């Protein structure tokens, strides 16, 4: 009897084992099928091209820098660089001091042309500044006997400073009047083309530096048009235009109906069209994105410490130190105009750039 029971138990155990083996086999097959299915799905998923994530550049703007591209910009006016400091003369030492002061205060030069066209590429957190020189005197740009540039001339100092501080561009506009710009006959073409090839610009300061107050329609067009044509003859770049002007003595026609000829006209059948008309003084200029910006009347600031009547370069550096909310601060993105909310009312509505408005105190976006 016991033998029969044992035999029955052995048979039951074997049967159970077979059933478990079959069950495991079925599960394994199912798992294999599932693995194959997963593999197929994975292969199918790999073949699918997902849509690229669109990067919003506004997310990259550092609001802690308090960007304000509706702020004001200084356009500095120089004349001579010479051995003795005078009302219209800056010594080489003082000019170097000016550049270093601007550098340390976070100002970075851009061209006048980029300013008026709104092409401002100043790095984030810094302020654009425009350097200008009137009259084209020899001390602005002189070649020495060995054909090197005088290191104490305006151009020499700008280039040397740029070598020491590469992020401080030598960009400057030289407004030239009369024949023989920079005072060395026969070197006009070399000098003008050198300026353009090294990030600087040439502007119009008229043929004879007259007072515009009493000039006729014909006189205005001759003074502006003839000088533009004269300077253009020296320039190799056929696409470069003499289209910026610094008004002699800051003067304008008494007859307001003639004012339009400061902007455009013609002489001897050749037209001129100025994109920037600069005054003599006496305050910072509006942002080019500001509705109050007027390219036909751009103010400048005297780069001097003598007889500036509290409206000179260092007066305004101090002013912006004490009133940083009035200063142009770049966001570092040329195609985005970033401004604090309270400046929105002054921004042009026809700009081809994206406007980013934020709450100055909370640094939160409130508008696009």
Spans of all domains in the chain: 73-326
Residue with tokens 């604090």: 340
Structure-token match 């079959």, residue found:
22
- What are 115-142's pLDDT values in tens digits? 999 999 999 999 999 999 999 999 999 9
Q: Nearest to residue 234, comparing CAs of 185, 188, 182?
A: 188
**What share of the chain in percent tops pLDDT 90?**
81
pLDDT given at position 58 = 82
Q: Which fold has domain 73-326?
A: TIM Barrel (3.20.20)
Please list, in sequence order, all residues whose beta carbon lies within 8 angstroms of the beta carbon of residue 343, skipping any fewer than 6 positions away: 68, 70, 71
Residue 2 has a pLDDT of: 33
- The two three-digit tokens of residue 152, written as one number: 């104490």
Separation of alpha carbons 276 and 250, rounded Å: 13
Q: How many CA atoms are closer than 13 Å to the CA of 264, on its beta-carbon side?
A: 4
Provide the pLDDT for residue 8. 32
């Amino acid at each position: 009897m016991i033998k029969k029971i044992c035999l029955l138990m052995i048979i039951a155990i074997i049967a159970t084992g077979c059933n478990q083996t079959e069950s495991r086999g079925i599960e394994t097959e199912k798992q294999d099928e599932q693995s194959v299915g997963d593999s197929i799905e994975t292969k199918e998923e790999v073949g699918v091209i997902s849509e690229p994530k669109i990067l919003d550049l506004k997310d990259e703007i550092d609001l802690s820098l308090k960007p304000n591209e509706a702020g004001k910009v200084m356009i500095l006016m120089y004349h001579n660089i010479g051995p003795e400091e005078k009302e219209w003369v800056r010594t080489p030492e003082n000019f170097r001091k000016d550049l270093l002061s601007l550098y340390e205060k976070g100002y970075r030069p851009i061209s006048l042309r980029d300013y008026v066209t709104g092409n401002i590429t100043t790095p984030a957190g810094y302020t654009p500044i425009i350097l200008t020189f009137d009259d084209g005197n020899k001390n602005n740009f002189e070649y020495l006997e060995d054909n090197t540039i005088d290191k104490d001339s305006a151009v020499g100092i700008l280039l040397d400073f740029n070598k020491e501080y590469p992020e401080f561009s030598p960009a400057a506009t030289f407004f030239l009047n009369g024949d023989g710009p920079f005072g060395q006959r026969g070197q006009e073409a070399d000098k003008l083309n050198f300026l353009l090839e090294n990030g600087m610009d040439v502007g119009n300061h008229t043929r004879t530096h007259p007072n515009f107050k009493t000039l006729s329609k014909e006189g205005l067009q001759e003074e502006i048009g003839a000088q533009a044509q004269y300077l253009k003859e020296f320039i190799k770049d056929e696409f470069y235009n003499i289209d910026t002007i610094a008004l002699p003595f800051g003067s304008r026609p008494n007859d307001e109906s003639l004012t339009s000829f400061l902007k455009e006209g013609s002489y001897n059948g050749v037209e001129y069209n100025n994109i920037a008309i600069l005054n003599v003084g006496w305050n910072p200029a509006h942002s080019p994105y500001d509705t109050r910006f007027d390219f036909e009347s751009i103010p400048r600031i005297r780069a001097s410490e003598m007889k500036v009547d509290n409206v000179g370069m260092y007066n305004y550096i101090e002013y912006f130190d004490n009133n940083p909310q009035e200063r142009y601060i770049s966001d570092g993105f040329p195609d985005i105009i970033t401004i604090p909310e309270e400046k929105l009312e002054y921004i042009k509505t026809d700009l081809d750039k994206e406007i980013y408005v934020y709450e100055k105190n909370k640094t939160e976006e409130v508008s696009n």
